[in-house]
Amino acid sequence: MFRKKDPIACALTSLDRRDFAGAERAFCELLDRPGTAVQRAFLLNKRGVARIGLERRELARADFADALEALPGYAPALTNLGNLLLEDGDLPGAIARYERAIANDREYHVAHLNLAVAYKRQGRIADSVRALRDAQRLERASLSTFWRRARPR
């Protein structure tokens, strides 16, 4: 007997395959369902990522802001807002979002990595190197934890 695939997994697969239109539709459908604040923030953030792929930056920005309304301090949404600011050339704004993301989730290595990029563009090389090292350390720790959990016992 075949089971239906998890709709969140299907939406994430569409996003991974760069089927941004399919991912956007799937995340819209998922957002129509009831869920927790954490689930809502996650889905809004992912829909925002799909909308970036569709070059709908303002809709993406609104999704990231809505994710933060659902879950204040949500590091992925703060980081994605920082990315938009970085692309716009607003280095102080991007750095502020990345630093806020890190303050809310010290383990979110993506924010550390993006902070390193922003610091480098600002000419703050020592700060950039420090943030990059933090990102690498956190990513290694995350992968190590994943493999320990995935190992058969």
Whole-prediction pTM = 0.86
For residue 2, pLDDT over 50 is answered with no
Report the length, in residues, of the chain.
153
Query: 20: Cβ–Cβ under 8 A, 6 or more apart, which residues?
Result: 14, 50, 51, 53, 54
**Residue 138 Cα to chain centre, angstroms:** 15
The domain segmentation of the chain, as residue ranges, is 8-72, 75-153
Q: What is the pLDDT of residues 61-105, one digit of tens each?
A: 999 999 999 999 999 999 999 999 999 999 999 999 999 999 999
pLDDT confidence bin for 25, thresholds 50/70/90? very high
For residue 1, pLDDT over 50 is answered with no
> Residue 142's pLDDT is what?
74
Q: Identify residue 147 by its one-letter amino acid code.
A: W
> Residue 69's pLDDT is what?
98
For residue 71, give the DSSP letter: S
**C-alpha span between 44 and 33 (Å, rounded):** 12
pLDDT confidence bin for 153, thresholds 50/70/90? low
Query: 109: Cβ–Cβ under 8 A, 6 or more apart, which residues?
Result: 134, 135, 136, 138, 139, 142
For residue 4, give the DSSP letter: P
* CATH, range 75-153: 1.25.40.10
